[in-house]
Amino acid sequence: MNNSNEYSFKSQKPISRLELTIQIILRSMAIGLISGGILGALFGFVFFVWTGTVGAVLGLGLGLVNGILLSLITCLFFYPLKSLRLYHVIVKVISASIAGVGVASFGPWYFSSNYMTPSSGVLIGFSSVIASVVAGFAGWLAGKNIFQWYEQKNQRERRKSTLKATLHDTTTLNTAEQHLEDSLWSRNLGWIYLGLISFLCSFRGQMLLQFIVCGNQDVRSCLPSPRLYTSVIAGFKVVIPTILVIILILNLVKILYKKHKNKLTS
């Protein structure tokens, strides 16, 4: 018996490469535009018009880059879709990396030519780090959405062919397809949690990161000049290990939960 994460049929191609490329790029851009605008406005809060506009434009551009890269990888290595688990991981990691790195680079690049006090340099630097974390998780969810869409596209074609062979009632067929479509959106509650995190970070994120890095020290003695860049480096030295630890803990909890569930059902 094949692994549950593999499709047993090798020739299933429910969508052409050209249509697949266009769909992935458009979906990636749309998600980037909407999530960038909303999360940017929530993250900026006080300057929500400016941060929302910048977030939307930046999300659109990063979504385009992400969509082009994902479509190339998908068409070259995952057409038709067989290795679900591998594709799932690759799409999420690439989307998260492009979003996180893009946002982390934007702040220092945009403000590098402006005069800044030590405090404003640290503020922008740490804010760029926090914003990149939010963007990285947004990219992660965007990759998950694209994966779910492609996976569901394959599943829909399989189920349609099965239903057509057994059902003659088109109403029943359309209802079954609608239930399948609705299941995609029922798994995307992560966007709500991310929006809440982005909103909370607008108040406490930068201050918390500064306290973790500098404690009660003044930024003049805590971080060397140029403080815009040194604050970014210092922030990522704290944030990246923290994210890795959180991911490991969540995966461990997930594994333990599955083992406990299997014991109860066996």
Please say whether the beta carbons of 154 and 184 come within 8 A: no
> What is each CA distance from 154 to 22, 29, 78, 82, 232, in whole angstroms?
17, 22, 12, 10, 42
| pLDDT, tens digit, 9 for 90 and up, residues 197-251 | 899 888 788 888 988 998 888 888 888 888 899 999 999 999 999 999 998 998 8
* Centroid of chain to Cα 119: 31
Residue 222 lies in a domain: yes
Determine the structural domain holding residue 30 and report its residue range: 17-265
Residue 5 lies in a domain: no
Residue 3 lies in a domain: no
Residue 12 lies in a domain: no
- Give the H or E element holding residue 212: helix 190-214
Residue 170 lies in a domain: yes
> What is each CA distance from 187 to 22, 149, 184, 264, in whole angstroms?
24, 12, 6, 25
Q: At what angle do helices 17-44 and 118-166 cross, to 10 degrees?
A: 140
Residues 108, 205: Cα–Cα separation, whole Å: 18
Per-residue confidence (pLDDT) for residue 114, from 0 to 100: 80
Residues 201, 46: Cα–Cα separation, whole Å: 12
Per-residue confidence (pLDDT) for residue 161, from 0 to 100: 63
Please say whether the beta carbons of 60 and 33 come within 8 A: yes
Residue 2 lies in a domain: no
Per-residue confidence (pLDDT) for residue 3, from 0 to 100: 45
**What is the per-residue DSSP string for 143-198?**
HHHHHHHHHHHHHHHHHHHHHHHH---HHHHHHHHHHHHHHHHTT-THHHHHHHHH
Total-model pTM? 0.81
- What residue type is 40 in one-letter code? G
Per-residue confidence (pLDDT) for residue 126, from 0 to 100: 92
Residues 136, 77: Cα–Cα separation, whole Å: 24
Per-residue confidence (pLDDT) for residue 132, from 0 to 100: 95
Question: Nearest Cα to 149, choosing from 24, 17, 40?
Answer: 24
- DSSP annotation of 45: G
The pair of structure tokens assigned to 84 is: 């679900």
Per-residue confidence (pLDDT) for residue 141, from 0 to 100: 94
Residue 9 lies in a domain: no
Per-residue confidence (pLDDT) for residue 160, from 0 to 100: 66
Residue 4 lies in a domain: no
Please say whether the beta carbons of 40 and 52 come within 8 A: yes
Per-residue confidence (pLDDT) for residue 162, from 0 to 100: 66
Average confidence (pLDDT) per 10 residues, the chain, 266 residues: 44 74 94 94 85 94 96 91 90 96 92 84 91 95 93 75 59 50 56 90 84 86 88 93 92 87 78
Count of domains for the chain: 1
Per-residue confidence (pLDDT) for residue 169, from 0 to 100: 52
